[in-house]
Chain A
Amino acid sequence: MQTTVVGNYPKIPNKPRPARLRNAINKRDRGELADDDLVAVANEVTIEVINEQIEAGVDIVTDGQVRWDDDQTYVARRMGGVEIGGLQRYLDTNTYYREPEVTGPIALKEPVLARDWEFAQAQSSRPVKAIVPGPYTLAALALDKHYGSREKLALAFAEALRGEVDALAAAGCKHIQVNDPVIVFNKDDYGTFHKAITKLLDGVTGAETGVYTWFSDCQGILPQMLELPVDVIGLDLVAGRGNWDALKGVSFGKKLGAGIVDGRNVRMETEQEVAEAVKRLTEIVPPGGLYVNPSCGLEYVPREVALAKLKVMTAGARRAEGVPA
């Protein structure tokens, strides 16, 4: 069993620690800081959040998506055929993303993820997992002014993102995770999701690949998801309590990314709760096939809460394994 995270991590700590990235972006926006200097601050903050995850005992970390404004636009804005529009509410949260507007054929113009991963991995003593935005989610949350069909749009995103995935694998990244949550809200459209993920990940070699969902359950679509050409399926077992039932009905032949610590609330789990959830899960998948992680990215909670939650999570996972904490 290994512990990991789902993606993003809070970018700024609370007082008395300085909000360096926030301040740097404000300065850049006022014209008082050059873009290169902002990159330098983002680099330092990336190292800081990697170290925080390692300090918490997380086995496989991410770069915290420190450079990402939201899950969609960081990669989408670098694609041909995509412009970035106004603010939209992100699913059922009180946070917002900018809506990608597809105005022409989508093309990967400026791959960015392999570069980011190489930087992060060079700074980390633990494996760094790369996060790739999901093609289905991108298509569902974009305003389509060109393709005229969700499926065509999702497949076009998948084809462009495949360039990012291939570059990551070529760079030596061993863990590539596609975050594609919106399918849990659009189960009727599962066929499109399956085709898009297949186009994005089928035949990728040299890296473990996964697809993660959150905020609801995969009841009804989990059997088909287990046919996807991926190694890991990530499920939110907090907001998607129905996933516990969904897991009972299937023979889980892949690794499970189990979201058992609530990434959306500050209420703190106990080590015992985590350990009990892990034990229940090891009756479904062998320990070697289990990743323990929060239910979603941790940016919905303050930085100090995120760190505390990761510590409880890793300690609970060790307790379940019978290893003294």
Chain B
Amino acid sequence: MVVENTQTKRTNTRNSRMALTTTAVGSYAKPDYLTKARSEFAKGSIDRAELEKLEKQATEYWIRLQEKIGLDVLVHGEMERGDMVAYFSGEEGGNPIKGMKLGGLVRSYGNRYYHKPIIAGKLEWPGPMTVDMWKYAQDLTERPVKGMLTGAYTMVEWSFDEHYPSRRDAVMDMAKVIRREVEALVGAGAEYIQIDEPAIHTRPDEDFEVALEALQATVEGIDAEFHTHICYGEVERIWERMLRLPVKQIHLAFKNTDFAYLDQVREIGYPEDKDIGVGVTDIHTRFIESVDEVKDGLRRVLELFPAERVWVLPDCGLKTRTVDESEQKLQVMVNAVRDIKQEKNLD
């Protein structure tokens, strides 16, 4: 069953909290025509304008699909980005941060390689990097679209650095750059800004305070609702420190660990002034969870959190899943939320 979008105004604003807000983490799969166009562009057989037209076409597809499925807060899908760090560092079509460039190929695993970015000079904001695409996506819909950025620590940790004397120096300068982008997005009207920090647990003892300080410098005093996504690593090890991050919402891959993070919430806690983003579908598998399975997970979460503080998402970005798999996973998620709301009489 499909829930039609009959809203004429934005369904969820920062000041009207609703129960079990549904959203997504960030990336979606690029449709085949876009993958093909990107490789044609790389070979020089189509121009930038043609590629951009197709990126916008694909963005509109994902906006409409999320509306049709019935998500409350949307993402634009990152059709213009190849990689969450490289896009800001010299990927074609992006507006690279000054001081950054792309290096040669480095192997990530198996037969997968990527152009690892290099910090080659002083980092400076180059002017808006993500605002045009955010605005394009937001103009398509009445529902809020999140501004999507990569956090300063992850930007630096996943790059080479041949310029700064210490990681701390690089991260703090990077935070200034990301802050300027946040300001530009908020100036353009974004209410929700997501700042992803998937590398934050890389060296928790050595570096966590640097990452925390950088995020503070990125968001402090700016009037927007900030979310962060953390995944793929030992979240348990940083749980207590992570709770100090200056964001309204932390979202985590709950499903992938069968909701084991709820043990951390029970044992260590979770701050009352933060929302929790709960990943309810595993993005690493083609298998489509059943509505009942997602409902079971949500019931376990609702034993510990009031529904107004729970946001419901997939575990991570869906770019590794096909368009069909993504649609099915999102639909199951939204259907489960609808059922739970009925069951518990929630609005």
Contacts and interface: CB of A to CB of B under 8 A. Distances in A.
A143 B105 CA distance: 30
A213 B199 CA distance: 23
Nearest to B162: A267
Given A29-B111, A94-B199, A302 B104 contact: yes
Measured as residues with beta carbon below 8 angstroms from the partner, the interface class of chain B is 20 to 34
A132 to B, nearest CB: 21
B202 interface: yes
B113 A12 contact: yes
Q: Which of A19, A70, A266, A301 has the most CB of B within 10 A?
A: A266
Contact of B162 (A26, A98, A266): A266
A305 B105 CA distance: 10
A12 B112 CA distance: 11
A305 B103 CA distance: 10
A86 B285 CA distance: 11
A175 to B, nearest CB: 25
B199 A11 contact: no
A110 to B, nearest CB: 20
A302 B203 contact: no
A5 interface: no
Contact of B108 (A10, A11, A96, A268): A96
Contact of A25 (B111, B199, B203): B111
A17 B104 CA distance: 12
B118 A266 contact: yes
Measured as residues with beta carbon below 8 angstroms from the partner, the interface class of chain A is 20 to 34
A92 B203 contact: yes
Given A89-B232, A265-B161, A266-B162, A302 B103 contact: yes
A12 B108 contact: no
A304 interface: yes
Contact of A299 (B106, B160, B202, B232): B106
Contact of A69 (B110, B113, B232, B284): B110
A95 B107 CA distance: 7
Given A11-B107, A25-B111, A94 B118 contact: no
A200 B12 CA distance: 62
Contact of A95 (B103, B109, B161, B284): B109
A21 to B, nearest CB: 8
Interface of A: 10-12, 14, 19, 22, 25-26, 29, 69-70, 86-87, 89, 92, 94-98, 265-268, 299-305
12 contacts: A14-B104, A14-B105, A25-B111, A29-B111, A70-B109, A89-B232, A94-B158, A96-B109, A98-B110, A268-B162, A299-B106, A304-B104
